[in-house]
């Protein structure tokens, strides 16, 4: 049986129960309590989203969210294993909610991807046997099958939770992680490993663009028309791309075997590969060279030398296509001590010389209106 309330009515009951008893309930437990008290509706209320919703401050928009309806199936038991069919509505690939406040801790697993974004205040993220306090602007992406929980211990913090079907993530969003940089490769690997509990944490700071994406996602999740799911998929693509473009350097992650600092090793390689040696890397991170080589091979599928070459070739391609730098300058910028050595490696890798690669692949200069052939504006 379906029943309805609003975010605001639900949270009001949660706050009152905690103040009165000093205890906390899970979402389903509070819904059952509201049913017993006759506080649920049989039909959803209609909510008006103001035209200036995207320009509102966080508190004003949160009051708009208070009026958005919540719908659920009554008599649903509380489980530690949560299936996507219990959370994500039928025919939806992406579903966004405002995370309830003052819930009791209840570590659980689910078979979909979860993305939690702290818009305001803080939240306690519990993963396996560790706890991390997330602050404003932090994003956490939890892989399916990971034992975790997220709780808000106050009445004013704001967290949005985006739920993404695993099938949708793999078919739709995997292209966003197809870039050949080291972090994207590792990002792709750990989130698609069914045998490994893991999460990724990113730090966006006070970024209004991220908040706008989240607001739009939340509104589309409560706008059940024939376009809402397509809009949600498009928005999460934009949101996810924005995270990778602007915040990939802030990625941290959890892994049983590696510890939370291995992402820093990968990032350090990526940003210092031009002159970095395995010995210097091992010394910097206090690993033995043998152990570090094993970790790199296990988690990237490549040895250290292959990684460095791939990073150099990737940047060389970019410089050849998008700059007018000379071959010798590109060789020096990518860590080669001579243009001849660089050209030999490039030809071995791509079967073509750097000059021919540039000639056959570089895009023509863009058309600029009102510009003469000499390059001067008409």
C-alpha 132, offset from chain centre: 17
Residue 17 inside a domain? The answer is yes
Of 20, 161, 145, give the one whose Cα is nearest residue 80.
145
Tally Cβ neighbours within 10 Å of residue 157: 18
Q: Are residues 78 and 211 in the same domain?
A: yes
Question: Scanning the structure block, which residue is given the tokens 């949005």?
Answer: 160
**Residue 17: per-residue pLDDT:** 97
What does the pLDDT look like over 218-244, one tens digit per residue? 999 887 788 999 999 999 988 888 887
Residue 371 inside a domain? The answer is no
E-strand ranges in 144-259 read 148-151, 158-164, 199-203, 252-253
What's the CATH number where 173 sits?
2.60.120.280
Domain boundary among 219, 253, 287: 253
What does the pLDDT look like over 180-212, one tens digit per residue? 555 566 566 666 666 667 788 888 887 888 899
Q: What angle do CA 75, 109, 123 make, to 5 degrees?
A: 95
Residue 366 inside a domain? The answer is no
Residue 175 inside a domain? The answer is yes
Residue 370 inside a domain? The answer is no
Are 40 and 34 spatial neighbours (Cβ–Cβ below 8 Å)? yes
Q: Are residues 194 and 66 in the same domain?
A: yes
Is 149 in a helix, a strand, or coil? strand
The average confidence (pLDDT) of the chain is: 85
Q: Are residues 232 and 285 in the same domain?
A: no
Confidence of residue 48 (pLDDT cuts 50, 70, 90): confident
C-alpha 161, offset from chain centre: 11
Domain boundary among 253, 287, 321: 253
Question: The domain containing residue 280 runs over which residues?
Answer: 262-361
What does the block give as tokens for 372? 């003469």
Are 73 and 1 spatial neighbours (Cβ–Cβ below 8 Å)? yes
Q: Over the range 348-357, which residues count as b (16 or more CB within 10 Å of their CB) and which as e?
A: eeeeeebeeb
Q: Total domain count for the chain?
A: 2
pLDDT at 264 over 70: no
CA distances from 147 to 127, 142, 296 (A): 6, 9, 26
**Residue 333: per-residue pLDDT:** 92
Q: Are residues 199 and 269 in the same domain?
A: no
Q: Are residues 309 and 350 in the same domain?
A: yes
> Which residue would you say has higher pLDDT here, 98 or 252?
98
β-pair type (81-82, 109-110)? parallel
pTM for the whole structure? 0.71
Strand-pairing partners, residue 254, are none
Residue 378 inside a domain? The answer is no
Is 128 in a helix, a strand, or coil? coil
* Burial class for 168, CB neighbours closer than 10 Å (0-12, 13-18, 19+): buried
- Rounded to whole angstroms, the Cα distance separating 165 from 173 reads 11
Q: Are residues 175 and 43 in the same domain?
A: yes
Residue 15 inside a domain? The answer is yes
Q: Are residues 159 and 192 in the same domain?
A: yes
Note the maximum CA span of the chain. 80
- Rounded to whole angstroms, the Cα distance separating 33 from 182 reads 49
**Residue 271: per-residue pLDDT:** 78
**Residue 298: per-residue pLDDT:** 80
Tell me which of 120-124, 202-206, 262-266, 295-299 is least confident. Answer: 262-266
Q: Are residues 140 and 223 in the same domain?
A: yes
**Residue 249: per-residue pLDDT:** 64
Q: Are residues 81 and 160 in the same domain?
A: yes
Residue 357 inside a domain? The answer is yes
**Residue 225: per-residue pLDDT:** 83
Q: Are residues 85 and 205 in the same domain?
A: yes
**Residue 312: per-residue pLDDT:** 93
Of 98, 19, 115, 112, give the one whose Cα is nearest residue 64.
98
Of 353, 341, 267, give the one whose Cα is nearest residue 317.
353
Q: Are residues 211 and 314 in the same domain?
A: no
What's the CATH number where 317 sits?
1.10.10.60
Strand-pairing partners, residue 351, are none
Strand-pairing partners, residue 253, are 200
pLDDT at 42 over 80: yes
Domain boundary among 204, 226, 253: 253
Q: Are residues 249 and 266 in the same domain?
A: no
């Amino acid at each position: 049986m379906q029943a309805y309330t609003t975010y605001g009515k639900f949270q009001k009951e949660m706050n009152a129960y905690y103040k009165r008893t000093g205890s906390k309930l899970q979402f389903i437990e509070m819904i059952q309590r509201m049913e017993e008290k006759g506080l649920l509706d049989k039909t959803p209320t209609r909510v008006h989203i103001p035209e200036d919703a995207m320009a509102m401050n966080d508190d004003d928009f949160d009051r708009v969210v208070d009026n958005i309806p919540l719908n659920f199936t009554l008599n649903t038991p509380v489980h530690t294993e949560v299936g996507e069919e219990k959370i994500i509505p039928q025919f939806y690939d992406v579903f966004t909610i405002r995370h309830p406040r003052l819930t009791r801790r209840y570590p659980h697993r689910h078979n979909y991807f979860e993305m939690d974004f702290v818009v305001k205040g803080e939240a306690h993220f519990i993963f396996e046997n560790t706890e991390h306090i997330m602050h404003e602007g932090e994003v956490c992406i939890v892989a399916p099958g990971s034992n975790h929980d997220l709780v808000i211990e106050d009445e004013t913090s704001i967290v949005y939770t985006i739920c993404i079907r695993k099938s949708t993530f793999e078919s739709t969003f995997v292209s966003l992680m197809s870039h050949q940089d080291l972090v994207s490769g590792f990002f792709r690997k750990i989130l698609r490993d069914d045998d490994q509990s893991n999460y990724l944490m990113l730090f966006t700071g006070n970024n209004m663009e991220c908040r706008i994406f989240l607001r739009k996602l939340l509104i589309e999740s409560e706008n059940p028309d024939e376009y809402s799911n397509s809009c949600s998929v498009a928005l999460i693509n934009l949101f996810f791309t924005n995270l990778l473009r602007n915040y990939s350097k802030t990625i941290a992650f959890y892994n049983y075997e590696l510890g939370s600092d291995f992402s820093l090793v990968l990032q350090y390689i990526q940003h210092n590969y031009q002159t970095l040696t395995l010995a210097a890397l091992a010394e910097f991170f206090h690993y033995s060279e043998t152990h570090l080589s094993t970790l790199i091979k296990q988690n990237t599928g490549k040895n250290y030398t292959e990684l460095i070459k791939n990073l150099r070739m990737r940047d060389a391609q970019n410089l050849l296509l998008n700059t007018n730098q000379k071959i010798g300058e590109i060789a020096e910028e990518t860590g080669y001590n001579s243009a001849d050595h660089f050209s030999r490696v490039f030809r071995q890798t791509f079967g073509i010389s750097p000059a021919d690669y540039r000639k056959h692949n570089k895009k023509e200069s863009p058309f600029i209106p009102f510009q003469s052939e000499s390059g001067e504006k008409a």
